[in-house]
C-alpha cells in the first residue's frame, strides 16, 4: 500500500486563483495524478489536517465534501501543543506515523524539510520527479515487466 | 444543486451505454456524483489538462484567501 501526502504548496497550487506561477502546473498535475492512482492501485491520498484547515479557507461546502469523500484527512496534530501552527513539523510527524502502516510519498517542492524522516519506506519527492516516476511505473506495467501496477510503483519509488 | 457524495472511478469499468449517456471517453479517471435534492447521479470525466482543480471549480469558485 502507498500513501501519498501532498505538502501545503501542492494544495495551494490546486486551489489558487492565481495559477500563473512557476511550477504550479506540475504541482496541479501531480495532485491529479495522485488522485488517479487511487483508482489504479492500492493507493490513498492523505491530507494533513492543518493543511486542510488552511486550504479550507478557500473552499466551499461542496469542495470540502468532495475532499472528505475522496481523501483521508488526518487531524492527528490539530490542536496539539508544539504542533499547532507548525505545518512542516506536523507533516513530518503524520508521515512518519503513516510509514509504520504503509509506504509513504510526501509530495513537495521542499524535500529538504523532510530529510529527518526519509527512509526506505518514506520518500519526499518533487512533483516533477513524481510525474516522471509514475509514468515510468505505468510503462513498466504496460510492457508486462510487472503484473501489478502496485509492484511497479513500489519498485520505482522505493526500491530503484 | 449541491453535492451529496462523490466517488472516484474509471471510465473503462463502465458499460458503453453508460459512457455514451454521460459522453465519457473510453478510459480515464471519472467522478461519480450524487446530487441533492433528488439524489440525481452525474458522471464526469477528469481530463489530464484540467485535472482535479477544474472539477473543484465546477463545484464553485475558490474564495480569495491568503494562506500565508
The structural domain count of chain A equals 1
* Rounded CA separation A68/A85 (Å): 22
C-alpha to C-alpha distance for A105 and A91, rounded to whole angstroms: 12
pLDDT string in tens for chain A (160-residue length): 999 999 999 999 999 887 777 689 999 999 999 999 999 999 999 999 999 999 999 999 999 999 999 999 999 999 999 999 999 999 999 999 999 999 999 999 999 999 999 999 999 999 999 999 999 999 999 999 999 999 999 999 999 6
Task: Name the B residues in 2-41 with CB < 8 Å from any A CB.
Answer: 2-10, 29, 31
For an interface test with B, the pick among A32, A53, A72 (most B C-beta atoms closer than 10 Å) comes out as A32
CB contact under 8 A, B61 and A17: yes
Q: Which domain holds residue A49?
A: 2-159
Please report the ipTM that was assigned to this predicted complex. Answer: 0.94
3-state SS assignment for residue A75: coil
* CATH number, position A99: 3.40.50
What pTM was computed for the model?
A: 0.96
Give the Cα separation of B15 and B2 in Å (integer): 26
Amino acid at each position: 500500500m502507498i500513501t501519498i501526502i501532498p505538502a501545503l504548496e501542492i494544495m495551494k497550487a490546486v486551489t489558487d486563483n492565481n495559477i500563473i506561477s512557476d511550477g504550479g502546473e506540475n504541482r496541479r498535475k501531480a495532485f491529479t495524478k495522485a488522485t488517479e492512482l487511487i483508482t489504479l492501485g492500492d493507493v490513498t491520498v492523505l491530507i494533513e489536517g492543518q493543511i486542510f484547515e488552511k486550504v479550507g479557507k478557500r473552499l466551499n461546502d461542496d469542495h470540502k465534501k468532495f475532499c472528505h469523500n475522496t481523501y483521508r484527512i488526518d487531524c492527528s496534530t490539530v490542536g496539539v501543543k508544539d504542533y499547532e501552527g507548525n505545518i512542516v513539523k506536523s507533516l513530518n510527524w503524520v508521515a512518519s506515523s503513516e510509514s509504520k502502516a504503509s509506504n509513504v510519498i510526501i509530495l513537495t517542492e521542499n524535500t529538504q524539510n523532510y530529510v529527518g524522516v526519509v527512509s526506505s519506506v518514506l520518500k519526499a519527492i518533487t512533483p516533477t520527479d513524481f510525474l516522471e516516476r509514475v509514468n515510468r511505473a505505468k510503462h513498466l506495467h504496460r510492457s508486462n515487466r510487472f503484473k501489478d501496477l502496485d509492484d511497479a510503483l513500489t519498485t520505482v519509488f522505493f526500491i530503484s | 444543486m449541491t453535492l451529496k457524495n462523490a466517488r472516484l472511478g474509471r471510465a473503462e469499468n463502465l458499460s458503453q451505454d453508460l459512457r455514451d449517456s454521460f459522453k465519457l471517453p473510453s478510459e480515464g479517471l471519472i467522478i461519480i456524483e450524487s446530487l441533492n435534492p433528488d439524489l440525481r447521479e452525474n458522471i464526469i470525466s477528469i481530463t489530464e489538462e484540467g485535472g482535479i482543480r477544474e472539477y473543484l471549480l465546477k463545484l464553485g469558485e475558490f474564495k480569495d484567501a491568503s494562506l500565508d
